[in-house]
Structure 1
Amino acid sequence: MKAMSNRKVSSHRARDKSARAGNLPEQIFLWEILIRLPPKDLIRCRAVCRAWRRAVTARDFLLLHHRRQPSLPLINRRTSTGEPRWSNIAALDHRATQAAQQLQPVARLDGSNVSVKASCDGLLLLAEGGLRATPLDARCSVCNPATRQIRHLSSQLKGHAVLGLYRHQPTDEYRLLLHRLCSPISMQVFELDHHHMPPRRIECTREVLCYPLASSTPLLLRGNLHWTWHTLAALARQTESKTKTILVFDTTAESFRQMPSPPDVHAADLFDMDGVLGMYSWDNGDRSTVRIWVMQDYETQVWSPKCSVECWKESPMPEIPLTQERRSLVMAMFEEGNVRLLLASGGSLLCVDTQGKVLWSSRDDGHSLSISKHFLKQSIVSHAFFPELRVGMNAWPFG
Structure 2
Amino acid sequence: MDASSEEKGQWIATIGWFHLFHKDLKQAIHYYEVASSYVMDRSGPLHSHILARMAIAFTWVGEYHRGLALAQKARQLAILRGDRAEQFIAYEAEATCQQHWGNFSGAKLLLAEAKELSPVELKHKWEEIQADLHITQTEYSEARTLEMSVLDYRSSCQPPIRDTIVAHLNLASIGIATGSEIESIKYHLDTAYFQCNFLAFPFGLTYCETVAAHLHLREGNISLAREKFEKYFFIFQKGSDVQGLRTCLEGLGDITHKMHDREMTFRWAVIFLAFGQRAKSMLMTVSALRFIGDIISVQGDDETALSLLSAALQAFTLMDVHHQKAKCMISMGAIFERREELEKAVDLWQKSLLLLERCSQKKDIARISRMIQAATEKTR
Fold-level match, TM-score > 0.5?
A: no
Q: Name the larger-Rg structure.
A: 1
TM-score, normalising length: structure 2: 0.30
| Higher relative contact order, chain-length normalized (CA < 8 Å, sep 6+) | 1
Please identify which structure carries the higher helix content: 2
Please identify which structure carries the higher strand content: 1
